[in-house]
Amino acid sequence: MRLAIINLVQTPYREPIYEALSRTAGLTLRVFYLQSRDSVRGWSGLTCSYDAAPLRCLTPEPLYPLPLIGAVNPGLIPGLRRFQPDCLVVHGYSYLPQMQAMRWAIRQRIPYLLWGDSNTYKLARPRPWLTLKGHLLRYFCRHAAGALTIGRLNEQFWTHYGIEPRRQFRSPLAVDNDYFRVQAETFRQQKTIQRQMLGLPLDRLLLYVGRFAPAKNLPALLLALEACRQAGVTNLSLALVGDGPDRDRVERLIQRRQLTGVFLFGFQKHSELPRFYGVSDAL
């Protein structure tokens, strides 16, 4: 079995899946990446032990979020022809190369599975683009062998577009739990010295790890910390690990409210995160 997976960019929570598939007997895997980087999340350049095929993307990175033109890859279809897959897994459906790959699979009579993390909340936002997308998505869902789903709301999304439950296969996002557990425990045993090295106090420490983006609502977390201060809780600190478009907003709020005990560490590599998990008391 020759399996081709089409994805936008390397993501930490899919790497364990791809690595496991690459070690599966009787399966030859190749993952095609449509975008070269994701500077918002800082996921560029992850190392991988499987067959990865990064494709040249003609779209400038600022245009990545736009539908259709967010990824333009003239090398995708020639790459699929050379690889000659028996099956495709297509992550996403909004960009032109994803649609081209599915049309190519339909013409070649090659089965393909859709894979995406959209949920039913998106259905409640009527827009002209969503109407057009709905027609296209129903077409590709009708011809798909099925969909890989990550949860209940995601399954409802695919059902809405015509992939009935019998063609849905649960495939949750993956984390290398053993790695984080072992590494974090090592740092936990050195909590005092590690906190001193990071410039963190020794009182109770809350930790946030993630993007600085509106959807994460970091101001609510900061205002909750302020409420704790006003209630007389003084032995509580907060470490923020990550970066993103809301970074300036967060920093301004900290300064304006004169919040003490908040520590910003910016973006940290995947390998550095266990250190922060190990020295914190709650996530």
Nearest CA-CA partner of 278 in 173, 179, 176: 179
User: Is the pLDDT at 16 greater than 90, yes or no?
Assistant: no
Torsion sign (Cα): 25, 27, 28, 30: negative
pLDDT at 100: 96
Confidence band (pLDDT; 50, 70, 90) for 199? very high
- Give the 3-state secondary structure of 80-129: HHHHCCCEEEEECCCEHHHHHHHHHHHHHCCCEEEECCCCHHHHHCCCHH
> What is the overall mean pLDDT for the chain?
90
Confidence of residue 124 (pLDDT cuts 50, 70, 90): low
Residues 233-278 have pLDDT tens digits of 989 999 999 988 899 999 999 999 999 999 999 988 888 999 999 9
**pLDDT score of 192:** 95
Q: How confident is the model at residue 74 (pLDDT cuts 50, 70, 90)?
A: very high
H helical segments located in the chain: 15-22, 76-83, 96-108, 128-143, 152-160, 177-188, 191-198, 218-230, 247-256, 273-279
86-90, 125-129, 162-166, 172-176: range with lowest mean pLDDT = 125-129
Looking at residue 87, its pLDDT comes to 97
Please say if the pLDDT value at position 209 is more than 80: yes
Sign of the four-CA dihedral 252, 255, 258, 264: positive
- Please indicate whether residue 21 or residue 9 has the higher confidence score (pLDDT): 21
Does position 127 have pLDDT exceeding 70, yes or no?
Answer: no
Tokens linked to 134 = 């709905």
What is the mean pLDDT of the segment spanning 74-87?
97
Distance CA 118, CA 69 (A): 19
Cα separation, 4 vs 86, whole angstroms: 8
Please report the pLDDT score of residue 122 as a whole number: 63
Give pLDDT tens digits for 151-173.
999 999 999 999 999 999 999 88
